[in-house]
Amino acid sequence: MAEEVKNEKKKELPIAQVTTCKSTQQMLRKAAEDGVETAFHRAADMKACPIGADSACCKHCSMGPCRLSSKDAYGKVGVCGATIDTIASRNFARMVASGAAAHTDHGMSMLDVFREVVAGKIKDYQIKDEQKLLEVAESVGIETAGREIKEIAVDLYEELERTYTQVEGEIPFVTRVPPKTLEKWRELGIVPRGAMREIMEIMHRTHMGVDQDYENTTKQCSRTALSDGWGGSMVATEISDILFGTPSPVLAGVDMGCLDEKQVNIIVHGHEPNMFESMIASVNDPKLLKEAEKAGAEGLNLLGMCCSGAEVLSRHGVPHAGNFMSTETVLVTGAVDAMAVDVQCIKQGLAPLAECYGTKLFTTNPRAHIEGVDHIEFVEHHPRKCTDKVVKEAIKRFKGRKAKIVIPQNKSLGIHGFSHEYINYMLGGTFRASYVPLNDNIINGRIRGVAGVVGCTNPRVRQDYVHVELVKELIKNDVLVVQTGCSQISLAKAGLMKPDSSVLAGDGLQEVCETVGMPPVLGLGSCVDNSRILIACAEMVKTGGLGESIADLPVAGAAPEWMSEKAISIGQYFVASGVFTVFGVTFPTIAETKFHKLLFDGLERQGLGKLGFAKDPYEMAALMIDHIDKKREALGIMGERERVLMDMADRRDLEVIPDSF
Ligand code: SF4
Ligand code: MSK
């Protein structure tokens, strides 16, 4: 055990209170025995700064940093005179900019690969889903009839490049936005031009002494966030589908029990699917398999973690070892021979743990090195150079394993891979694929509404608990749940991705799930795949009967255990698209301020969605269900069933929902 990673002064961690994940609990007990620390320990040791948590401080110039008091929000201003609303909205804007930049840069990398594949300069990847290529091209107005695939692909590249580089006009995917929603955006001046322009403008506006009107800053937050959701993220999803295949339901295992002591275990952790796809090819290479056998292994066992893991879980059924708060504890198993990371949500704390357990940790993306960690650059023009090398290093580590291996025996099999195309097909059948059955079941009340439950896990709240309890409460109340990212993994571990989990749903939703043969919780993939939820919302509006804009739909969203700036960008693009979106953990505003009231109320009055906040999963579910019922009422589809305002105790006691609304 490396001496430097020992933490003698660490307080004992109340393990059952920090995570409900059995595997993570077991590994935290082992971590205590081994004397190593994780983000759970660091969170317990580090009190979050209350002024920062309220977003009441500014360090945008050297006259400060200025700290405003959260108790007396309007009693104080910064040295330049900036009010709490200016400071908090500027801080929020920079979170949106950073989150949107992460997603759009990811999307741009995908587009780079697509361009090089189409030009024949990258040979290791091909256009795998031509049907999807045609659909995406048609959706942005490209002529496809009688044309060669390559010609269409060139046009599509050029069209989608505008998502990033365009300086005037509207991004290409506005063609998918319901007309009434788009009309509202135009009226408010929030239609994105190009992501680079919007992110640049937000950074300019939030410089000292520029935009000092929180309402004006918030408009640019919406515009930038929309360039992520309907721009960069949507490009990332669509191009990944074109290159690697559109997901359809696949049975796959999730949790640390997917590790296998007898095999060489390789984990890919990050966000971009390019390296992961090449790793799939590497672990299936007969030469490398032979090398593994020679080293005494029964095979090469590839697993994912976090979002790229959720993406290949959905697309190919590659097993998934756990979500964000398990990326360190999985190393404590001692069973991980190599972990290759790319971008986003990679904790620096992985480095000392990998050293301690002898796991080979590699960074692979030029944007994301970690001090002291070996870097094997991944270059899409010859991807196997990187991924073969990682596999060989993993085999070496397998051969020389020294760490004691303990693998938690928890593994949950479930169905993943519900793209919006598949939802269409699943509900409508091959010859009449459509959203009509979904809308009909919402109108007749079997399905009360749809909720997107997404986002990270966070050591400031009990891992997985809020995700799982919230989703159980929603399905019990006949709300169909769609999921992405680390949240999807929380529910998969809890067994909610199995079709028989429909027994936990209310009678109406259960009936629909049993008829169609689907679980009440549908996993759609990674964080950028939240764009699939936007498209599903647009399809619901287009199909008819549920209003004219996304803001009319009986839908809601939640990021119950969020931690990253990307979650803020996602939240803001859902709100700007018309969706009520609830955050848990904490929210970076002070409740009495004008800026807070704008986000949590004013935006809805403008015809968009709004934000909500609740830490408790039952309270969060109540907020979402009440909102769904409010929309049902406005649509005139509450039926015989009156809107029931229940308190928490009622909700907990509620076991059966009548099947006719
Ligand atoms: Fe303080 Fe204003 Fe400078 Fe911010 S911009 S640090 S509020 S003086
Ligand atoms: S990986 S952004 S912790 S969902 Fe997308 Fe998970 Fe959140 Fe990272």
- Non-local (6+) Cβ contacts of 52 within 8 A are none
User: Residue 148 corresponds to which tokens in the numbers above?
Assistant: 């060669």
Q: Which atom of ligand 2 is nearest to the CA of 567?
A: 2
Share of the chain above pLDDT 70, in %: 94
Q: What is the C-alpha to C-alpha distance for residues 534 and 233, in angstroms, rounded to an integer?
A: 11
Return phi, psi of residue 252, to 5°: -150, 160
Pairing verdict, β 250-254 and 412-416: antiparallel
306 lines ligand 2 (CB under 6 A): yes
Could you give the residue ranges of the DSSP H alpha helices within 544-647? 565-577, 594-597, 603-605, 617-635
612 lines ligand 2 (CB under 6 A): no
77 lines ligand 1 (CB under 6 A): no
Q: Which of 507-511, 568-572, 654-658 is predicted with the least confidence, judged by mean pLDDT?
A: 654-658
Rounded distance from Cα 640 to ligand 2 centre (Å): 41
Rounded distance from Cα 643 to ligand 1 centre (Å): 48
Residue whose C-alpha is closest to residue 262's, from 301, 288, 290, 297: 297
Q: Which atom of ligand 1 is nearest to the CA of 61?
A: 3
Q: Which atom of ligand 1 is nearest to the CA of 86?
A: 7
Burial of 258 (0-12, 13-18, 19+ CB in 10 A): buried
CATH number (1.20.1270.30, 3.30.420.10, 1.20.1250.20, 3.40.1400.10) of 66-244 reads: 1.20.1270.30
Rounded distance from Cα 374 to ligand 2 centre (Å): 23
Rounded distance from Cα 51 to ligand 2 centre (Å): 25
- Tell me the β-bridge partners of 555: 450
Q: What tens digit of pLDDT does each residue of 221-265 get?
A: 999 999 999 999 999 999 999 999 999 999 999 999 999 999 999
What mean pLDDT is predicted for residues 638-645? 56
Q: Under CATH, to which class is 250-399 assigned? A: alpha beta
CB atoms inside a 10 Å sphere around CB 589: 27
Rounded distance from Cα 77 to ligand 1 centre (Å): 9
Domain limits, the chain: 66-244, 250-399, 422-635
DSSP one-letter string for 437-499: HHHHHHHTTSS-EEEEE-----TTS-BTHHHHHHHHHHHHTTEEEEE-HHHHHHHHHTTTTSG
pLDDT surpasses 80 at 661: no
Rounded distance from Cα 81 to ligand 1 centre (Å): 8
Q: What is the C-alpha to C-alpha distance for residues 317 and 253, in angstroms, rounded to an integer?
A: 8
Q: Which atom of ligand 1 is nearest to the CA of 58?
A: 4
427 lines ligand 1 (CB under 6 A): no
Return phi, psi of residue 437, to 5°: -60, -35
- Tell me the β-bridge partners of 339: 267, 361
Which ligand gives the minimal distance to the CA of 455? 2
486 lines ligand 2 (CB under 6 A): yes
pLDDT confidence of residue 7: 46
- Non-local (6+) Cβ contacts of 81 within 8 A are none
pLDDT surpasses 50 at 651: no
Rounded distance from Cα 536 to ligand 1 centre (Å): 42
Pairing verdict, β 57-58 and 66-67: antiparallel
Q: What is the C-alpha to C-alpha distance for residues 532 and 234, in angstroms, rounded to an integer?
A: 8
334 lines ligand 2 (CB under 6 A): no
pLDDT surpasses 70 at 8: no
Pairing verdict, β 580-583 and 611-613: parallel
pLDDT confidence of residue 10: 54
Which ligand gives the minimal distance to the CA of 67? 1
Rounded distance from Cα 571 to ligand 2 centre (Å): 13
Share of the chain above pLDDT 90, in %: 89
Matching fold, domains 250-399 and 422-635: yes
pLDDT band at 447 (very low <50, low <70, confident <90, very high): very high
pLDDT band at 73 (very low <50, low <70, confident <90, very high): confident
Positive or negative, the CA dihedral 197, 203, 206, 209 is: negative
Q: Which atom of ligand 2 is nearest to the CA of 454?
A: 4
The pLDDT mean for the chain works out to 93
Q: Which atom of ligand 1 is nearest to the CA of 77?
A: 7
Residues 576, 226 contacting (CB under 8 angstroms):
yes
Q: Which helix (H) or strand (E) holds 302?
A: strand 300-305
pLDDT confidence of residue 649: 54
Rounded distance from Cα 203 to ligand 1 centre (Å): 15
Q: Which of 120-129, 207-216, 364-373, 496-505 is predicted with the least confidence, judged by mean pLDDT?
A: 496-505
pLDDT surpasses 80 at 570: yes
Q: What is the C-alpha to C-alpha distance for residues 335 and 314, in angstroms, rounded to an integer?
A: 24
Q: Which of 96-100, 271-275, 324-328, 514-518 is predicted with the least confidence, judged by mean pLDDT?
A: 514-518
What mean pLDDT is predicted for residues 601-626? 98
Rounded distance from Cα 546 to ligand 1 centre (Å): 46
* Residue among 345, 493, 531 to mutate when testing ligand 2 (max atoms within 8 A of CB): 345
Q: What tens digit of pLDDT does each residue of 79-89 get?
A: 999 999 999 99
Residues 340, 279 contacting (CB under 8 angstroms):
yes
208 lines ligand 1 (CB under 6 A): yes
Rounded distance from Cα 49 to ligand 1 centre (Å): 19
pLDDT confidence of residue 74: 81
Which ligand gives the minimal distance to the CA of 56? 1
307 lines ligand 2 (CB under 6 A): yes
DSSP state of 19: B
Q: What tens digit of pLDDT does each residue of 34-67 get?
A: 999 999 999 999 999 999 999 999 999 999 999 9
Rounded distance from Cα 306 to ligand 2 centre (Å): 6
Q: Which residue has the tokens 């308190």?
A: 647
Which ligand gives the minimal distance to the CA of 99? 2
Q: What is the C-alpha to C-alpha distance for residues 316 and 108, in angstroms, rounded to an integer?
A: 23
pLDDT confidence of residue 655: 33
Q: What is the C-alpha to C-alpha distance for residues 37 and 42, in angstroms, rounded to an integer?
A: 7
- Which residue, by CA, sits nearest to atom 5 of ligand 2? 307
Return phi, psi of residue 650, to 5°: -60, -45
Return phi, psi of residue 498, to 5°: -90, 140
320 lines ligand 2 (CB under 6 A): no
pLDDT confidence of residue 3: 35
Supply the pTM of this predicted model. Answer: 0.94
Residue whose C-alpha is closest to residue 118's, from 240, 235, 231, 243: 243
What mean pLDDT is predicted for residues 76-101? 97
Q: What is the C-alpha to C-alpha distance for residues 655 and 506, in angstroms, rounded to an integer?
A: 8
Which ligand gives the minimal distance to the CA of 311? 2
- Which residue, by CA, sits nearest to atom 7 of ligand 2? 456
pLDDT confidence of residue 498: 87
Q: Which atom of ligand 2 is nearest to the CA of 564?
A: 2
207 lines ligand 1 (CB under 6 A): no
What mean pLDDT is predicted for residues 101-112? 97
pLDDT confidence of residue 71: 72
- Which residue, by CA, sits nearest to atom 8 of ligand 2? 345
- Which residue, by CA, sits nearest to atom 3 of ligand 2? 456
pLDDT band at 435 (very low <50, low <70, confident <90, very high): confident
Q: What is the C-alpha to C-alpha distance for residues 610 and 601, in angstroms, rounded to an integer?
A: 6
Q: Which atom of ligand 1 is nearest to the CA of 59?
A: 6
Rounded to the nearest 5 degrees, what angle is found at the Cα of 119, between the Cα atoms of 115 and 124? 80
Write the CA distances from 392 to 332, 366, 386, integer angstroms.
22, 21, 10
Rounded distance from Cα 30 to ligand 1 centre (Å): 46
Which ligand gives the minimal distance to the CA of 68? 1
CATH number for the domain whose boundaries are 422-635: 3.40.50.2030
- Non-local (6+) Cβ contacts of 515 within 8 A are none
User: Residue 422 corresponds to which tokens in the numbers above?
Assistant: 């598949």
- Non-local (6+) Cβ contacts of 123 within 8 A are none
Q: Which residue has the tokens 């009107």?
A: 213
609 lines ligand 2 (CB under 6 A): no
Q: Which atom of ligand 2 is nearest to the CA of 566?
A: 2
User: Residue 451 corresponds to which tokens in the numbers above?
Assistant: 């909720």
Could you give the residue ranges of the DSSP H alpha helices within 323-410? 329-332, 350-357, 383-399
Q: What tens digit of pLDDT does each residue of 498-522 get?
A: 888 999 999 999 999 988 888 999 9
pLDDT surpasses 60 at 1: no
pLDDT band at 423 (very low <50, low <70, confident <90, very high): confident
